[in-house]
Amino acid sequence: MDKLPQIIAYATAKLKNDKTGHGLDHLTRVAQNAKLLLKEEPQADTFIVLAACWLHDTIDEKLTDPKQAQSQLKAFLKQIGLTEAQIQAILAIITQMSFTRNLNGRQKLSLEGQLVQDADWLDAIGAIGCVRAIYYGGAHRETIYDPKIKPRTNLTKEAYRQLEDETIINHFYEKLLKIADMLNTQAAKELAQKRQKFMLAFLEEFKNEWNGLS
């Protein structure tokens, strides 16, 4: 656990200027969510969970060259004295946990990985999730809403990143509303209930206002 401050400093250096919803506020909330989930899963390795929370977006292919970022991260973790097993445990989590990595079939994750994935996915839903989707959509110049464009089904990773046919509202149907059923732990599923209801209410109100009904 004494290595965590150095890990937080590494993630901070990498992501402090992020303006796509993967910045320090996101990492802080993911770590905070993970601490809640850890209370229900005391057998999980707290250090691995928290380290992976802080590092999970430092190798994201949307934000950086993943191969280069991974070798730099490995070298850093070795340099601060993590064991080979700890490095492997962290890398296995952060390379397998993303929504896109799990689009065409679920990847097997360790218990620690399941907690980190849940903690990250909880931060993609609810009120925070609404703001992050709108923020990300703005950053990528997505259309806000177009009732003629239907949400896409059976998305491949390539299609998921193809934003010409995407709308911010469709992203709720293509990803955000699906998350509650994809969470690993009971504790996360319970936390997701309220967030799911909030998103459904938001979408209903949005469409009513769009259609001049409210």
- Measuring CA to CA, which residue among 34, 36, 33, 15 is closest to residue 24? 15
Q: How far apart are CA 101 and CA 103, in angstroms?
A: 6
Q: Which of residues 47-86 bind ligand ADP (CB under 6 A)?
A: 60, 62
Contact 12, 24 (CB under 8 A): yes
Which residues, 6+ apart, have CB-to-CB distance to 42 below 8 Å?
none
Residue closer to ligand ADP, measured from CB, 60 or 118: 60
Q: Which of 98, 184, 185, 196 binds ligand ADP (CB under 6 A)?
A: 98
Residue closer to Ni ion, measured from CB, 78 or 178: 178
Residue closer to Ni ion, measured from CB, 19 or 78: 19
Interacting partner of 195 out of Ni ion, ligand ADP, none (Cβ under 5 to 8 A depending on kind)? none
**Per CB under 6 A, 107 contacts ligand ADP:** no
- Burial status of residue 190 (CB atoms within 10 A of its CB: 0-12, 13-18, 19 or more): exposed
**Per CB under 6 A, 114 contacts ligand ADP:** no
Q: Minimum distance between the CB of residue 132 and ligand ADP, rounded to whole angstroms?
A: 4
**Per CB under 5 A, 120 contacts Ni ion:** yes
Calculate the alpha carbon distances from 92 to 50, 70, 89, 107, 114 in Å. 14, 11, 5, 10, 11
Binding interface with Ni ion (CB under 5 A):
57, 120
Binding interface with ligand ADP (CB under 6 A):
21, 60, 62, 98-100, 124, 132-133, 136-137, 142, 163, 166, 168, 171, 175-176
